[in-house]
Structure 1
């Protein structure tokens, strides 16, 4: 495609907006649904942008969808920076003296997102009713580069990327069972007494982080007869009274149907990391939610470590 000589004023923001959605979703149909337009509009916008720039931005295939070319990759970084700058300008200019508004999407691990982030962020919306929040609580990592989330909470610190990252909190996991299970089995007074007991745990080859593969290290030769990729599924399994399970204290601790087993001998300490793209730091709603989550974690330090059974709210 012949290179064009254009000025910034000739670029159309609507074309760039369509480009960003296709780059993130890799599907024109998905981009169209997100933008509230039809497929032909998306295709037309992409063609117009490619013609204006004199560059092919996507390679298309049935298997992988719309894949960015090297030129498309270069444009993506500039387009995302421009998008964030434009959002920040709108927020600061039109929002002067007004309540904050907009959407913030938080991507989190399944258990923490469901049992800690969601209860805490519900109180946040009492203060800021015009900020809508999506909590995406899933048992896998989300991509910030594809804008699957604005703020990520992960078991591991990112090793690369233009991110603002901080250690959100430590949390503890312990061994749990129902009183009925313990009453129906021989007493457990030491680690050696765990041999032969059934455990539920993760599916090793499907665990999204090595930080989750702690069962064999904590309880050598543990008989894991029921496995799941979901910590919430493991929690439900333990509640049935047929198995033991190592669960986060923030999830199992408040549940009076469960009791800790060998709490001084069986425990795992892990961390959560929170991060978001540097360009999103310009948006007050993003930093506000991040600051709120950090304050919630600090307030609940003892709860997350299993030293208290009740979650605290401000």
Structure 2
């Protein structure tokens, strides 16, 4: 029978690592989120298991899964985490009006490369004390847990203490290099992204055959630009490549883009400044597609 140690031996930071591993499922993803190496994550989890005298995670082919014994520990840790995170957000909002420090932005790859990165020179020129950290993710990072300060998302959030501002409508078109020989072949996202509207649209097409797949947009665009296939892209991305020509007619897919931040951080000067700047820039970019 395991010998449980006193709870005052438990380090909150170890609990924080356990929560992150339970949420993200792998040492590497947890390490990226917490900005440490994966060995540190493993060491922290081992220390917590030793403190509690129980096994918290079992390793499976697709990552780490909490054990039944871990559930009450994780639930208790979440109850501790919520007020600490709120205190941190409120304290951050009261730290003065200096426009300096780090702002974390999360978005998908296309938004990062074609909407946000091109704006950073102008942003840094106006506010040189700001540092921008961009996390590229298809899944939604938690703004409440400060996994990011600002999110650019393809859907309006339906829950949480979040502020959401609509950036605009994003039409998608089929693009190809006129030199593409076979007009039936297309590049598409792989099976890891089955729920995207563009993936669902493609699944219904009888005249298009996916011949190149990836979980990243960059190789799909590169293949289309080289004439290997067509690719379905947002207009604001497709029109940036003169060698790609859009198929005429009504856009087959249309999505909405939203800027989201936690309500507690709307008063934080550096977060509000970056959100307002990026929001205005993205709106202007999307209007060019209207």
Normalising to structure 1: TM-score of the pair? Answer: 0.70
> Secondary structure in 2 aligned to 1:74?
helix
Separation in 1, partners of 2:136, 2:208: 28
Please state how far the C-alpha of 1:59 moved relative to its aligned partner: 7.7
Q: Tell me the CA shift for residue 46 of structure 1.
A: 8.2
- For structure 1, which runs of at least 5 residues remain unmatched after alignment? 5-14, 51-55, 186-193, 308-314
C-alpha distance after superposition, 1:269-304 (max 9, x if no partner): 21112212222223121111111121112222333x
Equivalent position to 2:264, from 279, 289, 302: 279
- Partner Cα distance (2:261, 2:195) in 1: 19
Residue 185 of structure 2 is matched in structure 1 by 198
Partner of 1:75: 80
Query: Using the alignment, how far apart are the partners of 1:124 and 1:143 within structure 2?
Result: 25
Aligned CA distance change for structure 1 residues 251 and 161 (closer, same or farther; 3 Å): same
Indicate the residue corresponding to 2:152 in structure 1.
153
Residues 103-252 of structure 1: pairs in structure 2 closer than 5 A: 103-181=102-180, 184=181, 197-203=184-190, 205-207=191-193, 209-216=195-202, 219-252=205-238
Deviation at 1:145, TM superposition (A): 4.1
CA distance in 2, matches of 1:70, 1:79: 15
Contact 2:16–2:77 under 8 Å retained in 1: no
Find the residue that maps to 2:197 and give its secondary structure: helix
Question: Residues of 2 paired with 1:302 and 1:218: CA distance?
Answer: 29
Partner of 2:282: 297
Deviation at 1:236, TM superposition (A): 1.2
Q: Which consecutive residues of structure 2, in runs of 5 or more, have no partner in the other structure? A: 60-64
Q: Cα offset for 1:177?
A: 1.1
Aligned twin of 1:260 = 246
Contact 1:105–1:151 (Cα < 8 Å) also in 2 = yes
RMSD (CA atoms): 3.7
TM superposition shift of 1:3: 11
For the structure 1 residues 256 and 46, does the alpha-carbon distance in structure 2 shift closer, same or farther, using more than 3 Å as the test?
A: same
Q: TM-score, normalised by structure 2?
A: 0.75
2:281 partner SS: helix
Aligned counterparts of 2:173 and 2:219: Cα–Cα separation in 1: 16
Q: Secondary structure at the match of 1:84?
A: helix
Shift of 1:120: 1.5
Q: How has the CA–CA distance of structure 1 residues 282 and 74 changed in structure 2, closer, same or farther, with 3 Å as cutoff?
A: farther
Go from structure 1 to structure 2 and tell me whether the alpha carbon gap of 1:139 and 1:125 turns closer, same or farther (over 3 Å shift): same
Q: Deviations over 1:229-282 (max 9, x none)?
A: 222221111112121121122222121121122x22444221112212222223
Q: 1:293 to 1:142 in 2, by over 3 A?
A: same
- Work out whether residues 106 and 152 of structure 2, in 8 Å CA contact, stay in contact via their aligned partners in 1: yes
User: Contact conserved, 2:19 with 2:74, CA < 8 A, in 1?
Assistant: no
